[in-house]
Amino acid sequence: MRWRGPFFISLGINAVLAAAWLFSARQPSRPVTEVGLTNSPTVKTNVIVRRQFFTWSDIESPDYPTFVANLRSIDCPEQTIRDIIIADVNTLYSKRLATELVTADQQWWRSEPDSNIVRVATQKSRVIDEERRNLLTRLLGANWETGDLVSLPRPSRPGVALDGPILGPLSQDIKQAVEAISVRSQERLQEYLSKAGKREKATDAADLARLRQETREQLASVLSPQQLEEYLLRYSQNATNLRAEMGTLKHFKATPEEFRSIFRVTDSYDQQLLKLAGRTDPNGALERRTLEQARDIAIRTALGAERYNQYVLLHDPLYRDAFAAAQQAGTPEAARAIYEINLATAQEQASARSNTNMTSQQRDFELKRIELEQLRANALAMG
């Protein structure tokens, strides 16, 4: 058959190839050392190996010099390196400022900031900022400030201070959310006040209460109850009003625990009273009196009988004067006696001034006598 001729030819070729393969497989391998024996010139090629597959964790390092070197190893532009390092260092030192300093904002129970606290915080802030600047100079050179985040946006206004043991450890995302809520709150308030001014209309307390409640609800969506209370103690209008009240009662000197207790029991009442500020109808007046009475009872419960009595008395200017005089004399326990003497004196003086049966000369004489009697009684009370 015709196919046999080509078949045997093909078979013969394959047999030759198989024999050649077997022969070559049995030959020993050439020693590697023979390569060094040739006289052919060696050609060297400069090969630059670049990372083509890496993640940020391969680049980032807690050691800043290593971090900078890693960024340069992937040909990161110098301006971008500056931006990254400055932002990272600033974040690091911002956390220190937020957690290591005791600032006036953290002492929300004080009507006036403690000058010592302000001084120490200012000094420590300068020390930390100097450390930050020195670190950036070591990492980026002496002229790093000329390229300080030139390509990154800057905040247009300062935010609220979120520092201290409760707000300081908040994540950067939560802090930014809180600051954004605060900014929007101020914008809504300014917009409302602007519209009211254009209409020449007085602001409605109920509208203000609604705006503040909206802000609280937004804050409650990102902060825990403890964090929200800390924020409100610092920045809410009710806490600001309470500090102003305590400022007039300077001899009361509420402790942090007392201030917090008063705020806790009065905050909800104050919000409700604000909503009633525009009500002039009998029902509104009755509801206001009921809330005010409940508020006073809550304060009495929070402070206890003795401190509550002092709190109430210090709302009277006559008692504040008596307390100041007793303290100056070194006998604060005599404040109540001096107060009662001053009350009796005021009543006698009012009676003398309204007595139409006296001549002008007699009235002046009587008023002088009352004044001298008051001085004598106060001196006896203070020992």
Query: Is 48 a domain residue?
Result: no
pLDDT in tens, 26-44: 444 434 334 343 444 444 4
Whole-prediction pTM value?
0.71
Q: How far is residue 164's CA from residue 99's CA, in Å, rounded to a whole number? A: 5
Out of 315, 347, 369, pick the residue that ends a domain. 315
- Same domain (yes/no): 142, 61: yes
pLDDT in tens, 267-296: 999 999 988 887 888 998 999 999 999 999
- Same domain (yes/no): 70, 128: yes
Q: How far is residue 324's CA from residue 335's CA, in Å, rounded to a whole number? A: 8
Query: Is 43 a domain residue?
Result: no
**Phi and psi (nearest 5°) for 174?**
-70, -40
Query: Is 38 a domain residue?
Result: no
Determine the residue type at 64.
Answer: Y
- Same domain (yes/no): 96, 140: yes
CB atoms within 10 A of CB 321: 14
- Same domain (yes/no): 147, 161: no
- Same domain (yes/no): 135, 171: no
What percent of the chain is predicted at pLDDT more than 90? Answer: 54
- Same domain (yes/no): 309, 334: no
Q: How far is residue 105's CA from residue 161's CA, in Å, rounded to a whole number? A: 7
- Same domain (yes/no): 311, 295: yes
Q: How far is residue 227's CA from residue 220's CA, in Å, rounded to a whole number? A: 9
**Phi and psi (nearest 5°) for 143?**
-100, 25
pLDDT in tens, 332-376: 899 999 999 999 999 999 999 999 999 999 999 999 999 999 999
- Same domain (yes/no): 120, 176: no
Q: How far is residue 67's CA from residue 344's CA, in Å, rounded to a whole number? A: 78
Query: Is 68 a domain residue?
Result: yes
Query: Is 25 a domain residue?
Result: no
- Give the chain's domain count: 4
Domain coverage including residue 181: 155-224
Query: Is 311 a domain residue?
Result: yes
Out of 165, 197, 224, pick the residue that ends a domain. 224
- Same domain (yes/no): 130, 113: yes
Q: How far is residue 174's CA from residue 153's CA, in Å, rounded to a whole number? A: 19
